[in-house]
């Protein structure tokens, strides 16, 4: 069946669904709208009249053919159109996007199951980089082993999945005890569970922490899957959850020469499907909260309850990071911290940096398309 309506047409798909497509959308996505070499759209929908409607439309076998009033002909493969159909009016964006994968929640006992990748193998085998980025999409965390004891090694690892993203901590940063620390991380104190750098306008995406030396007593690494926690939080405290997904909370980082501020939601939702995609959480970088009284009264119970749930041992994965390992995690999804270590008990040095999540997703799409799962290179 094919029916031309006022602003769009209706047609039956192979699965029997009746699908609707707007005329401007159809014209905008004619196969001739794209530049063959750059794959960018070179067609300008703004030039069309206000009442665009096909002169004729017909379906032959698996193709919809439209002739437009200016004489241009467009042909659409019905299987391709079916990908953009919204069944029962439900929202489904990201059609055909390999990087839209189901997040796999994990809990305190996850350490033995963290996906591990040997750095020399990653360098040699791009299919393993596809598996590594898939682990980052699914679980938000992976462990690199056999890392060289060099700055270059960390940079090379980052460049397998994207470009190093600078932040107010620099291009890379070194976590070790300093005489005059600008940051709690550079002391031997415990670091509360946090996500890094919410005062950035866009908090960094994928975080690398490369352990170069860890001979200190204490200083265990702490990681929590904030998506697991936020799911439980949503079920138990829906009103608190709604507040923390909408209220923009101020964060701030200051030194003698920096004053970086941004407002972020505590719980971040995935724009594609509304699921929890991450959080912004850092008590040491939270600015003075500046909400009106009634919002303040609602905020603190929600914030405190969520922070307490993050600390619940049920979710807290705790382990020792060893020299030669690099933990790589989604800094929005995975909350991290460390226990205090004994000053003077031994050297401890982690070198860190970031790559944004979109770079990683792009790498995943390209590599997974090239190296489908389960197939050898």
Strand-pair category, 317-319 with 221-225:
antiparallel
Residue 353, judged by CB atoms within 10 A of its CB (0-12, 13-18, 19+), counts as buried
Element (H, E) at 2: strand 2-4
Nearer to Zn ion, 196 or 225 (CB): 196
Largest CA distance in the chain: 81
Work out which of 188, 195, 221, 282 binds ligand OGA, going by CB under 6 A.
221
Nearer to ligand OGA, 336 or 368 (CB): 336
CA–CA separation, 72 and 23 (whole Å): 14
Q: Interaction with ligand OGA in 166-205: which residues (CB under 6 A)?
A: 175, 185, 191, 196
Work out which of 267, 335, 350, 353 binds ligand OGA, going by CB under 6 A.
350
Q: How far is the CB of 88 from Zn ion (least distance, A)?
A: 43
Q: With CB cut-offs between 5 and 8 Å by kind, which of Zn ion, ligand OGA, none does residue 131 bind? A: none
Q: How far is the CB of 230 from ligand OGA (least distance, A)?
A: 20
Q: How far is the CB of 21 from ligand OGA (least distance, A)?
A: 48
Query: What track of x and - describes contact with ligand OGA for positions 316 through 345 (by CB under 6 A)?
Result: --------------------x-x-------
Strand-pair category, 141-145 with 326-330:
antiparallel
Q: How far is the CB of 327 from Zn ion (least distance, A)?
A: 11
Nearer to ligand OGA, 196 or 268 (CB): 196
Q: Cα dist. 272→201, 234, 279 in Å?
A: 21, 18, 16
Cα first-last separation, the chain = 45
Question: Total binding residues for ligand OGA by CB under 6 A?
Answer: 8
Footprint of Zn ion on this chain (CB under 5 A)? 196
Residue 255, judged by CB atoms within 10 A of its CB (0-12, 13-18, 19+), counts as exposed
CA–CA separation, 119 and 258 (whole Å): 35
Nearer to ligand OGA, 57 or 203 (CB): 203
Site residues for ligand OGA per CB under 6 A: 175, 185, 191, 196, 221, 336, 338, 350
């Amino acid at each position: 069946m094919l029916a031309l309506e006022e602003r769009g047409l209706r047609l039956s798909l192979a699965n029997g669904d009746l699908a609707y497509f707007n005329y401007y959308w159809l014209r905008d996505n004619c196969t001739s709208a794209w530049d063959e070499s750059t794959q960018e759209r070179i067609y300008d929908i703004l030039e069309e009249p206000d009442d665009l409607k096909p002169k004729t439309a017909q379906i032959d076998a698996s193709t919809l053919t439209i002739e437009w009033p200016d004489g241009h002909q467009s042909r659409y493969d019905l299987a391709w159109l079916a990908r953009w159909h919204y069944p029962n009016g439900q929202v489904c964006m990201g059609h055909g996007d390999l990087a839209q994968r189901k997040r796999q929640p994990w809990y305190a006992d996850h350490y033995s199951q963290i996906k591990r990748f040997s750095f020399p193998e990653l360098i040699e085998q791009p299919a393993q980089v596809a598996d590594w980025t898939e682990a980052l999409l699914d679980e938000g965390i992976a462990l690199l082993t056999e890392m060289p004891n060099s700055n270059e090694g960390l940079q090379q690892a980052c460049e397998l999945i994207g470009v190093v993203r600078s932040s107010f901590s620099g291009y890379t940063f070194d976590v070790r005890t300093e005489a005059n620390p600008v940051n709690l991380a550079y002391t031997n104190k415990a670091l509360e569970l946090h996500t890094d750098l919410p005062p950035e306008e866009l908090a960094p995406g994928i975080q690398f922490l490369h352990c170069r030396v860890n001979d200190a007593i204490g200083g265990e690494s702490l990681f929590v899957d904030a998506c697991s926690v936020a799911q439980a939080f949503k079920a138990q405290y829906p009103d608190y959850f709604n507040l923390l997904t909408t209220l923009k909370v101020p964060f701030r980082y200051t030194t003698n020469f920096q004053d970086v501020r941004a407002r972020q939601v505590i719980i971040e939702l995935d724009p594609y499907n509304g699921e929890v995609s991450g959080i912004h959480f850092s008590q040491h970088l939270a600015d003075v909260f500046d909400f009106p009284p009634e919002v303040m009264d609602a905020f603190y119970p929600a914030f405190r309850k969520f922070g307490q749930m993050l600390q619940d041992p049920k979710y807290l994965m705790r382990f020792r990071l060893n020299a030669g390992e690099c933990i790589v995690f989604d800094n929005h999804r995975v909350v991290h911290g460390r226990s205090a270590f004994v000053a003077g008990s031994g050297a401890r040095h982690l070198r860190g940096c970031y790559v944004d999540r979109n770079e990683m997703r792009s790498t995943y799409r390209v590599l997974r398309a090239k190296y489908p799962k389960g197939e050898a290179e």
